[in-house]
Amino acid sequence: MKASRETQAVLVERHLTKTQLFDRVCRILGDQAVITEPEVAVAALEERERLAETLITKRVAMPHCQSEVIKQSKILLVNCKRFPIVWDDAGHQVVGLVMLLLAKDARQDQLLRITDFVRQLADSDVADSLFEGEPTAANTIEI
């Protein structure tokens, strides 16, 4: 699969709820100055989840938001295969998340790269395959 330079891997190493996960991820990105106000980003992600579910396959979800507090657009591939997260009221458990955090003033070339990446996920096999193994990249965030 064609990766985007905005992509960052995250490995979940404990049981977390959806809100806890959003909170931890946004705080880490806050520490990296990617997000200025993590709680605003978390609220935006939760608001999107409240509007409608974001499952893109039976085991992968795509939480996403666009906010002024996001300074760099990011695609986070969150692998929670070892600690699946209960995603909705129906009890779906996800093993991977494709988190899209979009800057309000994202550049067009960035948006195009992200769009290209997202389109590939329309094939559920491709989306599921992202989380078959564990991330090995050196810059993987562990939470």
Partner 1 sequence: MVKTDINRELMNLLYQQDSYVTAKKLSEELEVSPKTVYRAITHINEKVGAPQLITTAKGKGVEINRSRSLNESGQFVQHDLAKLSEDTLSPSKRRKQVMIRLLYVSPRSIDVQYLYEHFYVSDSVISNDEKIINQWLDRYGLRLQRTNRKASIQGDELAVRQAISVLTDLTGIIDFDNIFSRSEVALNQVDVNFVIDLIRDAEKDLEIEIPYPYDVNLFSHIYILINRYRNVGQKGSLPANQVPGTITQNKELLHCAEVLSHRIEQYAHVNLPQAEISFIYEYLESSRITNLSDRTEVVPQRAILIADDYVRQVSRLLQIDIDGKTILPDLINHVRPMLNRLENGIHATNELLEQIKQEYPAIFNAVCTVSQKIALDYDLPKIPVDESAFISIYFARAVEQSTRPLHILIACTTGVGTAELLRVKVSKNLPELVIDDVVSMRQYQVNRQQYSGVDFIISTVPIRDEQVIPVIVVSALFSARDQAAIRKVVTKLSGATK
Residues in contact with partner 1 by CB under 8 A are 48, 51-58, 62, 64-66, 100, 102, 111, 114-115, 118-119, 121-122
Kindly state the smallest distance separating residue 26's Cβ from partner 1, in Å.
16
CB nearer to partner 1: give 68 or 139: 68
CB nearer to partner 1: give 33 or 51: 51
Kindly state the smallest distance separating residue 52's Cβ from partner 1, in Å.
5
Instruction: Write 95-98 long-range contacts (CB < 8 A, 24+).
Output: 95/59, 95/60, 95/131, 96/59, 96/60, 96/61, 96/127, 96/128, 96/130, 96/131, 97/21, 97/60, 97/61, 97/62, 97/63, 98/56, 98/60, 98/61, 98/62, 98/127, 98/130
CB nearer to partner 1: give 122 or 138: 122
